[in-house]
């Protein structure tokens, strides 16, 4: 039986995981709708906690004001990159001309980004709540406490990184790092949930899992992270093509993206084959917990739907409504893989009912 504190932690942790998925979906909507600069400042939006709905609510010189603020913030960021040994990246930040282009006010884009930020703030508060609850678990599950604390630091870093995404006018490589940090936060949150969920029961105990199976599952999970990264790079290249070749229509953008899109498709096929093999091995093995087969089914289901959304994007001119589900399905599949990985690596524990 779980203690009252453990039940509270599990409940808040699960809500946090769901909130993280909503945040990733909202981020996908922001990206696909071109609303990333809907709020040109951070953490406020047009200097308001609740942004205006019309340009009349903004100061006359709002364009110049936010460009100036971005340039000042980017110079500080460039100096940080210089001190960290990334002089080439610092040069890119300083020489990016798009940063000097003012953003036109668009109420729809502003509120799309604003809602994304609200979900982000709510998720941050939920992660803070899990950390506070983990303090009471310090005596029984120290790792949950420390990981919850690390996650809180990651959230603060992610918030700062989000401000840099805005100040650099959505610079490509920073968006990729921003996405990878989000995946890391999600993974840590799932791990802490799994750790407490299975602390006092043997539901996921396996009779025997061969080391080869564990390594295979680990490689598949890493491959999914690589695929998400490459997918983010595809989107960055699409943005670059859109900016360079303004005469092209949406249906022609992917033709100019190049090798990274080919790699993305090839990785999708490798993932389909490897996850299919994984499911076959899970179903065939008689020494695995029945839960592993269930999660294997989830993974195949999510992967097939993700490939379907990818085909829709590539064959229907990168239709915006397909982009956010594509990103969400990728993170859901990674989460299912990661949870299955934790199940396979779980060591049988003595049940403690104290």
User: Per residue in 272-287, pLDDT tens?
Assistant: 999 999 988 888 865 5
The pLDDT score that the predictor gives to residue 345 is 82
Give the span between the Cα atoms of 100 and 313, in whole angstroms: 31
Token pair for 150 = 């690390």
Higher pLDDT, 246 or 16: 16
Quote the pLDDT of residue 352: 46
Helix or strand or coil: residue 48? strand
Question: What pLDDT, on a 0 to 100 scale, did the predictor assign at position 354?
Answer: 41
Handedness of CA 229, 230, 233, 238 (dihedral sign): negative
Task: Label residue 33 by pLDDT band (50, 70, 90).
Answer: confident
Q: Of 105-114, 119-128, 159-168, where does mean pLDDT reach its minimum?
A: 159-168
The fraction of the chain above a pLDDT of 90, given in percent, is 39
Residue with tokens 């949930």: 193
205-354: which CATH architecture? Up-down Bundle (1.20)
Contact call for residues 198 and 204 (beta carbons, < 8 A) = yes
Whose tokens are 């364009």? That residue is 63
Could you check whether the bond before residue 48 is cis, i.e. omega within 30 degrees of 0? no
Q: How big is the chain, counted in residues? A: 354
Per-residue pLDDT, 314: 86
Task: Please report which confidence band the pLDDT of residue 14 belongs to, taking 50, 70 and 90 as the band edges.
Answer: very high
Task: At 78, list the tokens.
Answer: 């460039």
Q: What is the pTM of this model?
A: 0.87
Q: Higher pLDDT residue, 335 or 246?
A: 335
Domain boundaries of the chain, sorted by first residue: 1-200, 205-354
pLDDT above 70 covers what percent of the chain? 93
Q: Give the pair of three-digit tokens for residue 275.
A: 């996850």
């Amino acid at each position: 039986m779980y203690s009252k504190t453990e039940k509270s932690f599990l409940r808040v942790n699960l809500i946090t995981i769901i909130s993280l998925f909503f945040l990733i979906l909202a981020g996908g909507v922001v990206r696909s709708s071109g609303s990333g600069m809907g709020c040109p400042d951070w953490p406020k939006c047009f200097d308001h906690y609740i942004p205006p709905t019309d340009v009349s609510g903004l100061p006359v010189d709002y364009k110049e004001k936010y460009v100036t603020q971005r340039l000042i913030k980017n110079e500080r960021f460039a100096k940080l990159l210089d001190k960290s040994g990334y002089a080439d990246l610092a040069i890119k930040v300083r020489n990016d001309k798009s940063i000097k282009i003012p953003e036109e006010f668009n109420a729809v884009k502003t509120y799309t980004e604003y809602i994304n930020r609200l979900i982000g703030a709510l998720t941050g508060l939920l992660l803070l709540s899990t950390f506070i609850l983990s303090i009471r678990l310090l005596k029984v599950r120290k790792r949950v406490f420390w990981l919850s604390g690390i996650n809180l630091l990651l959230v603060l870093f992610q918030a700062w990184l989000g401000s840099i995404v805005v100040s650099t006018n959505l610079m490509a490589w920073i968006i990729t790092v921003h996405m990878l940090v989000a995946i890391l936060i999600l993974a840590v949150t799932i791990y802490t949930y799994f750790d407490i969920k299975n602390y006092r029961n043997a539901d996921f105990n396996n009779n025997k899992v061969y080391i080869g199976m564990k390594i295979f599952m680990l490689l598949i999970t890493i491959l999914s992270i690589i695929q998400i990264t490459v997918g983010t790079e595809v989107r960055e290249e699409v943005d670059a093509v859109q900016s360079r070749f303004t005469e092209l229509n949406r249906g022609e953008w992917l033709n100019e993206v190049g090798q990274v899109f080919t790699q993305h498709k090839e990785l999708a096929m490798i993932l389909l084959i490897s996850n299919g093999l994984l499911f076959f091995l899970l179903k065939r093995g008689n020494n695995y917990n029945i839960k592993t087969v269930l999660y294997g089914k989830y993974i195949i289901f999510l992967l097939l739907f993700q490939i379907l959304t990818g085909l829709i994007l590539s064959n229907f001119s990168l239709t915006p409504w397909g982009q956010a589900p594509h990103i969400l399905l990728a993170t859901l599949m990674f989460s299912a893989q990661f949870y299955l990985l934790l199940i396979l690596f779980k060591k049988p524990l003595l049940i403690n009912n104290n």
